[in-house]
Amino acid sequence: MINKWIVGVILLLGSSLNLVQAATPHLETLMVKALDIEKPIVFNVTLPPSYGKNPDKRYVLLFDFHPRSRGYLDGMHDWMSHNGDWPWLETIIVTAPDGDETLGQLKSRAIEQEGSTALLDFMEQSLLPTIDAKYRTNGFRIMNGFTGNAGLVLYTLLNRPELFNAYLAASPVLSDDFAYVMKSAAVKLERIKGKPRYLMLTTSDSNFEQRQLADFAAFEELLKTANHPALHYKVKRFDGTYYMTQPILATAYGIEWLFDDYHRVLSPDSEIAKGGVKGILDHYRFLSQQKYGFVVPSTDSLIALADAEFAKDSDKGLSIYRAAVEANPESHTAHDALARVYGELKMFDQAIEQQKLALAKTDHPFWTRKYSESLAAFEAQKRP
């Protein structure tokens, strides 16, 4: 009996290990050569588990200068993205090597030499183009950093904001005018133009951060008072927590805040949804074209509005379901929602047509089974 129990445990563990292995991200290194640097800098790259399985999919990019950030970023990303990109859209993570002398010199120049752009030039002309050339990036980039590297996140935002779409700065070093951030912030914040940029700025009251808090408060006040309509920001304090926990908390909160508008279904009584179909489509057009650079579907928000309106006025609700299909013709959920209301209206020919389209748009076992059952029900109801 005991031997059978042991064998069972071993088999169970083996099965679990196989599942973990199947979900393990793929780790690579990437050599980046700059024109004026003789020796390439070798960066670490983590590809999402789906990267090799979905050759047509393109991915968000996150970059962090700290070599040890790879461990917590990889683990958090795997946990926060394995449920269908929620809440973290699947992301290619790139981190810097440990102890690279050339990269260290570039960072030192940015910190110590006022007006130096060597680090920014390296990122713009070498690092980011090399990443984009080798990997299927989708154009949305995040720069992440803790303490001194968070100071460089702010330095990049102020001096070359177009390099990244979002900046996550946890407990940034700002004292002694680190990288001349505080000296230039008032002027450079107001120079941020064009497409929206996003900043999550965090700190806590730990002993290690006390020296930075006065400058942190001053920078926060500049964010509140400067004229920077293209910069969207959030400041969060994690007072009472440990210093070394800060990058974990900041990344988790930053990712949730950053991608919230991608995932959140608009309530029918929200200000945007009160603008009707046009208001919702305008909102998702902004997200797709201005914020992310890739399509953010309006399907679920249009269906939520249609459900609410259909309960009051079937004709108006039906027109919104049709608008959802027109705006998202490849969405199986849009076709299914329209099929459902056609069925409720006893318009079974139309219901069958839309349910077949829903089936054609997905190969997921759950949805194909559900839609097949709905199709069979419509066909049965249609028979005389």
pLDDT digits (tens, 9 = 90+) for 217-243: 999 999 999 999 999 999 999 999 999
Q: Residue 11 — very low, low, confident or very high, per pLDDT cuts 50/70/90?
A: very low
Answer whether residue 10 shows pLDDT above 70: no
Q: Which residues, other chains included, contact 267 with Cβ-Cβ below 8 Å and sequence gap of 6+? A: 273, 304
Average of per-residue pLDDT across 159-169 = 98
pLDDT over 90 for what percent of the chain? Answer: 91
What would the mean pLDDT of 275-290 be, rounded to a whole number?
98
Beta-carbon contacts of residue 122 (< 8 Å; ≥ 6 apart): 34, 37, 106
Closest C-alpha among 246, 237, 242 to residue 150: 246
Q: Which two tokens stand for residue 296?
A: 């953010």
**Between these two residues, 12 and 309, which has the higher pLDDT value?**
309
Positive or negative: CA dihedral 308, 312, 314, 318: negative
Pairing of strands 197-203, 166-170: parallel
114-139 core/surface letters (b: 16 or more CB in 10 A; e: else) = eebebbbbbbeebbbebbeeebebbe
What is the pTM assigned to this prediction? 0.91
Q: Which residues pair with 59 in a beta bridge?
A: 137
- DSSP summary character for residue 264: P
Segment 126-139 shows an average pLDDT of: 98
By percentage, how much of the chain surpasses pLDDT 70? Answer: 94
The two structure tokens encoding residue 378: 């419509």
**Residue 230 carries which DSSP code?**
T
Is residue 96 classed as helix, strand or coil in its secondary structure? coil
Computed over every residue of the chain, the mean pLDDT equals 93
